């Protein structure tokens, strides 16, 4: 019974994720069914699947999460805001957006913050998680990106898309938690495929895990 409770609690911190370009409706419905069985926090998908996931998860308590400006973050702010509003209108309860990484690398932190703030405003009551793509940033840039996300009113900062050169690290989670303080969410995503790694991320300060290997992580 103790193991079951621990697995249930761990699953409740996971966004069960499928973001591949070749994902079919059958694939999306399969991960929704898995999420309901595992009792994950959410199902995280590209925004075209928002209404499909909303219908599949109806009454389950599992949230609908959609990515925005994914995976590059290089879309216009208006495009990100429009995609956010459209996803929310079709059932998204959480939004995972990618920052404008080029602005971050140039040190345009006002621009980064404004980009995030527009998505937060468009999301309304939906929680916004801000993807930093930490593998492309220096530690100083990670800190500034976290501060920009916090100032813009985001609910979480998140490490990675899983589509760049590397994913989450324990060191980055610690740095992000130290930067945003105890009250803001921190999501570890990218390369988390087993229970030990997931638990290490949570111990370092993560409050949410993004993963496609949920079954392996919880031992299902």
Q: How far is CA 132 from the centre of its chain?
A: 10
Of the residues 15, 96, 115, 172, only one is catalytic, namely: 96
Please report, to the nearest 10 degrees, the dihedral formed by the alpha carbons of residues 200, 169, 144, 10 taken in order: -40
Taking each helix axis from N to C end, the angle separating 195-204 and 170-180, rounded to the nearest 10 degrees, works out to 30
Of the residues 13, 80, 158, 172, only one is catalytic, namely: 158
- Tell me, yes or no, if 172 is annotated catalytic: no
- Tell me, yes or no, if 13 is annotated catalytic: no
Residue in this structure with the two tokens 């070749």, named with its chain if needed: 22
Say how many residues make up the chain: 220
From the number of C-beta atoms within 10 Å of its C-beta (0-12, 13-18, 19+), residue 220 rates as exposed
For 127-183, the DSSP string reads: EEEEE--GGGS-HHHHHHHHHHHHHTT-SEEE---SSSS----HHHHHHHHHHH-SS
Residue environment code for 117-140, b if the CB has 16+ CB neighbours within 10 A, otherwise e:
bbbbebbeebbbbbbbbbbbbeee
| Most distant CA atoms of the chain, gap in Å | 52
- Tell me, yes or no, if 187 is annotated catalytic: yes
Q: What is the spatial distance between Cα 28 and Cα 44, in angstroms, rounded to a whole number? A: 10
Q: What is the spatial distance between Cα 152 and Cα 98, in angstroms, rounded to a whole number? A: 14
Which residues have a catalytic role annotated?
Answer: 96, 158, 187
């Amino acid at each position: 019974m103790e193991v079951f409770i621990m697995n249930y609690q761990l699953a409740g911190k996971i966004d069960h994720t499928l973001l591949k370009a070749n994902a079919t409706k059958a694939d999306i419905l399969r991960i929704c069914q898995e999420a309901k069985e595992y009792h994950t926090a959410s199902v995280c998908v590209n925004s075209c699947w928002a209404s499909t996931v909303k219908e599949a998860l109806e009454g389950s308590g599992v949230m609908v999460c959609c990515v925005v400006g994914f995976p590059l973050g290089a879309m216009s702010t208006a495009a990100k805001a429009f995609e956010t509003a459209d996803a929310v209108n079709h059932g998204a309860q959480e939004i995972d957006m990618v920052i404008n990484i080029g602005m971050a690398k140039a040190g345009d932190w006002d621009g980064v913050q404004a980009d995030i703030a527009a998505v937060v405003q468009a999301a309304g009551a939906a929680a916004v998680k801000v993807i930093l793509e930490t593998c492309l940033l220096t530690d100083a840039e990670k800190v500034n990106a976290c501060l920009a996300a916090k100032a813009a009113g985001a609910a979480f900062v998140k490490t990675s898309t899983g589509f760049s050169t590397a994913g989450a690290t324990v060191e980055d989670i610690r740095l992000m938690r130290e930067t945003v303080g105890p009250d803001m969410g921190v999501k570890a995503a990218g390369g988390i495929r087993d229970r030990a790694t997931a638990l290490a991320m949570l111990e370092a300060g993560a409050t949410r895990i993004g993963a496609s290997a949920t079954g392996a992580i919880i031992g299902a």
